Structure 1
Amino acid sequence: MLVIILSLLALLVIAVLAYAATRPDTLRIERSLVIHAPAETILAHVNDFHRWRDWSPYEKLEPDMRREIGGAPSGVGATYAWQGQGKAGAGRMEITDARPDRTTIQLDFSKPFVSHNIAEFAANAQAGGTRVTWSMQGPAAYMTKLMGVFFNMDRMIGRDFETGLAALKVQSEK
């Protein structure tokens, strides 16, 4: 009986691992919110890593994590590296493009696992304000695919984006 149970368990593990391998090779998360402020005001909060503590949901994960802000003071070339002891993990961001309507950030994680993504904040004027879209895209490593079998990555990360956009709205509409 024990051999049958262990065989079924091994078969289940193999099936989950095989299913994870069939998941999409890319990951894209995106959320939008209308903010009643001009794009230049909104993106000023994004382009200056010193201001991220005011609105980024990731800053609250580990308030005492080690941070290093360098490169340009803001905009292209600005860098932000972090090293947390738990939830925040570790990684580095660098602003690679800063236009009046968009900011692009190279986002590299080294912990809890290595991943390389592009984050983008697009600001499009519309009646009553500016629609800000925060997106992240990149290759889905096997570990990301495996996590996606058990966790809805879009919902999990998307909630963080929604929280961050709401805080960015508060900061930009002051």
Structure 2
Amino acid sequence: MKLIKRLFLTLVVVVVALVAVSFLLPGQAAVSRSITINAPANAVFPHVNSMQATEAWSPWLSRDPETKLSYSGPDTGVGNTLSWMSEHPQVGSGTQEIVESIENQLVRTELDFGPMGTATATFDLQPEGTGTKVTWGFQSDLGLNPISRWMGLMMDDWVGSDYETGLANLKVVVESGQ
């Protein structure tokens, strides 16, 4: 009986310690990747300023070809919205809406993953020589949820390679004139 009591007490202490430490962890998760595309910003911009255009280079749609997509709002720019539904755990379900669009410079979107939370994504286009440096960023407020804060530490590992794949796909699409 003493052994069970000690094990239980140890478990409680460990859980309390993990929760306490979580409040010292960052309250935001951020991921950012960049690539230089050999094309001017006006050739890149249409591919990031339309949710419909992202189908051509999205790193996630190839994971589940059965993903159901629907669009609303204008075809481009602010208000253009994508909703998706997938049973695949790495695709999931949610919505993404363009909330800011500065021609040939910036596109900002708001993502809603339902119970998984919300986030903001950006596409920043900067001239670089004769090309365009595209930076795809992601930021999510983790709130005070201890589990979210621990998971936030792994966000770059989980999403970073997808951003690299997506940017490489975007580069191919833009440079090939598709």
- TM-score, scaled relative to structure 2: 0.87
Residue in 2 aligned with 1:73? 75
Give the distance between the partners of 1:7 and 1:135, measured in 2 at CA. 43
Deviation at 1:2, TM superposition (A): 2.6
Matched with 1:139 is: 141
Q: Give the number of equivalent residue pairs.
A: 170
| Residue 21 of structure 2 is aligned to residue 19 of structure 1 | yes
Say if 1:89 and 1:110, in contact at 8 Å, map to a contact too.
no
Identity within the alignment, %: 32
Corresponding position of 1:161: 163
Aligned runs of 1:25-174 on 2, under 5 Å? 25-87=27-89, 88-99=91-102, 100-111=104-115, 113=116, 115-141=117-143, 142=145, 143-148=147-152, 152-174=154-176
Q: CA RMSD for the aligned pairs?
A: 1.6
> How far apart are the structure 2 equivalents of 1:132 and 1:119?
13
Larger of the two Rg values belongs to structure: 2
After TM superposition, what 4+ stretches of structure 1 lie above 3 angstroms from structure 2? none
TM-score (norm. length: structure 1): 0.89
Q: Per-residue displacement from partner, 1:120-161 (whole Å, max 9, x unpaired)? A: 10110111411100011231132420323xx52122211111
Q: Secondary structure at the match of 1:57?
A: coil
Unaligned 5+ runs, structure 2: none
- Aligned partner of residue 89 in structure 1, secondary structure: coil
User: Which whole-Å CA distance do the structure 2 matches of 1:52 and 1:59 have between them?
Assistant: 10
Contact 2:100 2:108 in 1 (8 A): yes
AA paired with 2:94?
G
The residue type paired with residue 58 of structure 1 is W
